[in-house]
Amino acid sequence: MEMRINMRNMRDNQAGTIASIKVSGELGRRIRDMGLVPGTEIKVQGRAPLYDPVALRVRGATLTLRNNEADYIEVEVDQ
């Protein structure tokens, strides 16, 4: 079953497709510039030792972002 969850709540190695990114301004721009837009497939590659930031596999590269930045991103995942 498909469902929408917040990126923060994704498990390690869980894959999904970005459904929406609800942030404008500097952060929003930065997120989009790095290739995170709705429809992009992502996979959680791992988290830092203190569970924050999170490392994502996106378009064949590894990106990192903080949990409070990931909060703006909703992801469609297979449950």
Residues that bind another protein in the complex, under the rule CB under 8 A = 15, 20-22, 24, 26-41, 43, 45-46, 48-53, 55, 57-66, 69
- What's the CA dihedral at 58, 78, 21, 31 to 10 degrees? -10
Task: Rank residues 1 and 51 by Cβ distance to another protein and give the closer one.
Answer: 51
Calpha distance 21→46 (Å, rounded): 21
Calpha distance 73→43 (Å, rounded): 13
In the complex, least distance from residue 70 CB atom to another protein, rounded to whole angstroms: 10
In the complex, least distance from residue 39 CB atom to another protein, rounded to whole angstroms: 8
Calpha distance 39→59 (Å, rounded): 11
In the complex, least distance from residue 15 CB atom to another protein, rounded to whole angstroms: 7
